[in-house]
Structure 1
Amino acid sequence: MATIELTLSTPALLFSTASLLLLGFTNRFTATAKVIRDLHAEYRTNPKSLNNIVLIEQIRSLQFRVRLIRNMQFLGVSSLFLSILCMIFIYLEYQSMAGWVFGTALFMQAGALAISVYEITISIEALKIELSDMEHVLGHQSTVRRLRDVLTWKNRKTNR
């Protein structure tokens, strides 16, 4: 195994990345929590509505996303903590231990990013389901737009 000489500035590079990630994760958490509260309020206004089955499923999906975001935050904070610990080991001249701790911090940050990608794909699928009742309208607009583009192209070609 190759040895890497870590300086105090090496783990410090993770601070800015971790800070931005945590800010993004917190914003996601806040937005998701607001949607859950809004859906819960909608559910409570009419608990016997047939629409509540959809609301309950949406809330379940959002709860899962909140758990994912919590895990992303945990990994991000842990990565930040390990970066600090790595700096302490570098200061105490425990290079081998600093290398292992820094590597673990990198893997934790990579894990947070991987969970983030997964959460984004779940979010996109939820939006597709939410907009599925507008498919005929959106499809029609797309067809009209394509037709307009074709006609514009043909007009340009004949005017040459």
Structure 2
Amino acid sequence: MSLTTPALLFPAISLLLLAYTNRFLVITQLIRSLYKQNDDNPNLDIRKQILHLRVRIIAIRRMQVAGISAFILCVVSMFAIFIQQLYFANILFAASLLLLLLSLVISLYEVQISGQALQLQLKNLAQRSDD
């Protein structure tokens, strides 16, 4: 394995972390907005949405932690290659890939729960329009 092998992950991990951060920021803005709405006009549906968004925030933070850890191990793997410790470099790079995979699996989970929340909201909208 050469230095370029782990370096290939740098752009992918960086873009992934950027996407995770954007998701985090959008959800935090939505939570703040819903929180203000609930303060002005208390509503059980809004509180449920906020609690559901809290689960998504936790998932996104875990995605970020796994992604950042993958990035760190990737850098340490490159350093191990640089100092000619190929055995450790391979182990570190494999661990980096596993953490990246974990991050993607958590991302898949977060996408699933966000889709479920959207379906519930659309169902509520359909029920209100029938009334």
Q: TM-score, normalization: structure 2?
A: 0.94
Q: CA deviation at 1:135?
A: 3.4
- Alignment of 1:81 with 2:81, yes or no, is no
Task: Give the gaps of 5 or more residues in structure 2.
Answer: none
1:145-160 alignment, distance < 5 Å: none
Q: How far apart, CA to CA, are the structure 2 residues paired with 1:15 and 1:56?
A: 39
- Alignment of 1:10 with 2:5, yes or no, is yes
Q: How far apart, CA to CA, are the structure 2 residues paired with 1:129 and 1:99?
A: 45
SS at match of 2:2: coil
Q: CA deviation at 1:46?
A: 2.4
Q: CA deviation at 1:137?
A: 9.5
Q: Which amino acid aligns with 1:28?
A: R
Q: How far apart, CA to CA, are the structure 2 residues paired with 1:133 and 1:71?
A: 30
**Match for residue 89 of structure 2?**
98
Calculate the aligned-residue CA RMSD, in Å.
Answer: 1.5
Structure having the higher helix fraction is 2
**Match for residue 46 of structure 2?**
55
Instruction: Using the aligned pairs only, state the percent identity.
Output: 37
Displaced runs of 4+ in structure 1, greater than 6 A?
none
Q: CA deviation at 1:55?
A: 1.1
The 3 A distance-change label for structure 1 pair 95 and 110 is same
Task: Give the gaps of 5 or more residues in structure 1.
Answer: 1-5, 139-160
Q: How far apart, CA to CA, are the structure 2 residues paired with 1:124 and 1:133?
A: 14
Q: How far apart, CA to CA, are the structure 1 residues paired with 2:128 and 2:45?
A: 21
Q: TM-score, normalization: structure 1?
A: 0.77
- Alignment of 1:30 with 2:25, yes or no, is yes
Aligned length: 129
Q: How far apart, CA to CA, are the structure 2 residues paired with 1:67 and 1:133?
A: 25
